[in-house]
Amino acid sequence: MDQLTDFLRQMPKIELHVHLESTITGWLLERFAVRQGRTLPRAPEELYHCSAEDLSDFLGFLDRICSYVGTTADLAEAAEHFSAACREENILYAEAILNPTHWPQFSLPDIISAVTEGFDRGEAAGGADCRFTLSLSRNQTAEEADALVSAMERCRTPRLAGLSIDGNEALSGRTGDRFAPAFARARELGFGLTAHAGESSGPEGVLDALECLKADRIDHGVRAAEDPALLERLAAQRVPLNVCLSSNLALLYRDPREHPLRQLLDVGAAVTLSRDDPMFLGALTLTEELRRAAVFARMSEAELLRCQEIAVDAAFCGEETKAALRAALEAFRSQS
């Protein structure tokens, strides 16, 4: 094992941009399918060999993947498995994104209960401390958004950390005004706010997330680099950008040289690094994602550690949890 990989494996890690729907292994989905009397369309190890060429194709394939999770017990098992898998590579804390539109087989209260149960079991068995945000799709209505926030209020658990929004911005167009009331209400209830922006949209999507949704942090945000004034604002205001290099290179930047990760770091943007959709990226580990980022953007060990510290600051958890995470990072730093 090379020195960089060894450093990254040992480093305490925090992940803030990972979709739970895209963490379920083919072998686990095969088990769920058998329980329903169904079979997967191909072998478990080949299930995620997706031919999606753009975000729309990818989201449609994701719906089919989720259909194999037939019961809330299956969903809880998937959440528990994620917690255990995180801890295996020294991810101490993770916030998974869950979009209920991918799970029409379950009610919102059942989704919240099942994921909470799975994360509770996972941590009790030695897994990572995991929380989750519920995500709106950009093609939903304002009424559906308000209903989601109402369900979050009624069914709130300590694991439910915030409200998110995702989906294909290029197809949906500008949606900030439509969802601003739901985001404002979620903020009043004490939930964290995050938004996918600056991926399939340009800088204008990031501006909408900041000015209409009042998002605490941005998932992706990389295309803000196309607007120097916006990039300067993000850096000055320390708005966290949850960047996913491998995902961006697969779906967004056909020429890797165009990815602005090094530019974001150089201007002092508050960058965190995450996997987005790990199973679709060859069962990508966070350790490997960080190694790729380090090589791609010539990141030092100090910069890699700084990304973890920024993730702690950006996490939707209490100060007691953040203090424990900071202590773990400091202990690692002193030993390195």
- State yes or no: is 199 an active-site residue: yes
Nearest Cα neighbor of 105 from 28, 21, 7 is 21
DSSP 102-132: G-TTS-HHHHHHHHHHHHHHHHHTT--EEEE
CB 139 within 8 Å of CB 173: no
Q: Which of 300, 326, 304 lies closest to 315, judged by CA?
A: 326
Longest dimension (CA), the chain: 55
Q: Helices (H) and strands (E) in the chain — how many of each? A: 15, 8
Transcribe 7-65 into DSSP letters.
HHHHS-EEEEEEEGGG---HHHHHHHHHHTT---SS-GGGTT-----SHHHHHHHHHHH
In this structure, what are the phi and psi dihedrals at residue 233, rounded to the nearest 5 degrees?
Answer: -65, -45
Given the residues 21, 199, 288, 289, select the one marked as catalytic: 199
Rounded Cα–Cα distance for residues 115 and 157 (Å) = 10
**Where in the sequence numbering do the catalytic residues fall?**
199
